[in-house]
């Protein structure tokens, strides 16, 4: 009997809570910031990597500009996520 009363109280307590309105959920703020900053860093990294490859062709591997751009993009998303979870 007491178990049923406990369940009934839980059910009634759940009814009094405000229901969350089902809204469209977008991307998290940190992910949007990371993608925007990452795109900017990827462009800068790609340009600088391409200039470095042209300046000293024997020192840098082929595709160095793509590697630098990708690293900038991914690191920006990582930094945005780390800042978000540390707050």
pLDDT in tens, 69-80: 999 999 998 888
DSSP annotation string for 73-84: HHHHHHHHHHHH
Q: Is residue 75 in a domain?
A: yes
Helix (H) or strand (E) holding 62: none
> At a CB cut-off of 8 Å and minimum separation 6, what does 33 contact?
80
What is the model's pLDDT at position 69?
93
Count how many domains the chain has.
1
**Could you tell me if residue 20 is inside a domain?**
no
**Looking at the domain assignment, is residue 39 inside a domain?**
yes
Compute the distance between CA of residue 20 and CA of residue 4 in angstroms, rounded to an integer. Answer: 27
> Taking all residues of the chain, what is their mean pLDDT, rounded to a whole number?
81
Is the residue at 33 inside a domain? Answer: yes
pLDDT of residue 47: 94
pTM for the model stands at 0.61
- For residue 61, being part of any structural domain is answered with yes
Domain that holds residue 68: 27-87
What's residue 17's pLDDT?
Answer: 56
Report which secondary-structure segment, H or E, holds 42: helix 29-55
Residue 70 lies in a domain: yes
Model pLDDT for residues 41-65, shown as the tens digit of each residue: 999 999 999 999 999 988 988 889 9
Q: CB–CB of 41/76 below 8 Å?
A: yes
């Amino acid at each position: 009997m007491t178990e049923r009363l406990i369940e009934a109280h839980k059910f009634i307590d759940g009814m009094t809570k405000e229901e969350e309105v089902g809204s469209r959920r977008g991307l998290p703020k940190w992910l949007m910031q990371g993608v925007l900053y990452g795109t900017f860093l990827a462009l800068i990294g790609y340009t600088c990597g391409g200039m470095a490859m042209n300046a000293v062709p024997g020192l840098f591997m082929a595709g160095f500009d793509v590697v630098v751009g990708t690293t900038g993009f991914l690191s920006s998303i990582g930094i945005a996520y780390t800042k978000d979870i540390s707050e």
